[in-house]
Amino acid sequence: MKKLAIVDLETTSLDERHGDLWEIGLIMRDLRQPIRTDREFWWQVRPDLGLADPNSVQVGKYYKRCRVVNKAIGGGRRLAPTLDVSGSPWMKEHTGMPLAEGDWYMNADAVSIARTLAKELDGATIVANNPAFDRRFLDKFLRANGQILTAHHRMIDIRALLIGYVDGRLSAFDGKVEDAFAPEVVPYVEDWLDGYMDSPAWEIVGIAQDPGTAHTALGDARLDRDVYDAIRGGGR
């Protein structure tokens, strides 16, 4: 792998044939660099809601959080994450100070967003919670705006990665949960093994998401990144 593209999307449907993405959270990591540096991107675009699923729109809080609801379909905006905004030429020229997270700092249409996104994803390994879902919506968005997805065909599903991590530790300790995991983690593992949860909790590797960032593209992308790093580091 040369670079990771840690991705999360908010969409207007669970089916790309009926819906579109409207928020993109992307964290790029170049694995060839000796010092790890993550670059964050955060965009919103105005989707066509003609075939949207009301539940998907509500889960992502589209009408509460989308900052481009008054733009024409295809209109977009790049929002400010926490990295690299204070030094941007636009910031220095127009404000002279860094923006708060979530403030917008660049108008952009869907075509220009797709152009940047396609270049960043070129050759990258996508890391996500259900990456096949994100890949389908990314492919649709890029093609609709004159680009094509050229990310690596192999992807990393962090939920599957976590299941493998749990199974691996259990195998190493002859299936004894109390020996394989720290005491505070044991209840989460047992809940999954006993069928009370459909997938293992992120807390197994010491990650807990702030409820306020759930179902936000950049918040979920950061969660995916933290879970991936925790598993690769052996968990907590």
With tokens 């890391």, the residue in question is 127
Which stretches of 12-96 are assigned E, i.e. beta strand? Answer: 21-30, 38-45, 75-79
Rounded CA-CA distance 123/212 in Å is 32
* Average pLDDT for 208-236: 88
Rounded CA-CA distance 167/175 in Å is 9
**What is the tens place of the pLDDT at every residue in 53-99?**
999 999 999 999 999 999 999 999 999 885 554 455 555 555 556 66
**What is the tens place of the pLDDT at every residue in 93-126?**
555 566 677 788 888 999 999 999 999 999 999 9
Report the DSSP pairing between strands 38-45 and 125-128: unpaired
Highest mean pLDDT out of 33-42, 95-104, 170-179, 225-234: 170-179
* Under 8 Å between Cβ of 105 and 99: yes
How many C-beta neighbours within 10 Å does residue 20 have? 24
**CATH number given to 3-156:** 3.30.420.10
For residue 167, pLDDT beyond 90: yes
* Under 8 Å between Cβ of 27 and 38: yes
DSSP class of residue 204 equals G
* Under 8 Å between Cβ of 157 and 128: yes
**What is the tens place of the pLDDT at every residue in 126-157?**
999 999 999 999 999 999 999 999 999 999 99
Rounded CA-CA distance 22/48 in Å is 9
Q: Which residues have a Cβ under 8 Å from the Cβ of 145 and sit 6 or more positions away?
A: 74, 110, 111, 113, 114, 115
In the chain, residues under CATH classification 3.30.420.10 are 3-156
Task: Identify the pLDDT of residue 103.
Answer: 80
Task: Identify the pLDDT of residue 10.
Answer: 98
**What is the tens place of the pLDDT at every residue in 11-29?**
999 999 999 999 999 999 9
For residue 205, pLDDT beyond 70: yes
Task: Identify the pLDDT of residue 89.
Answer: 54
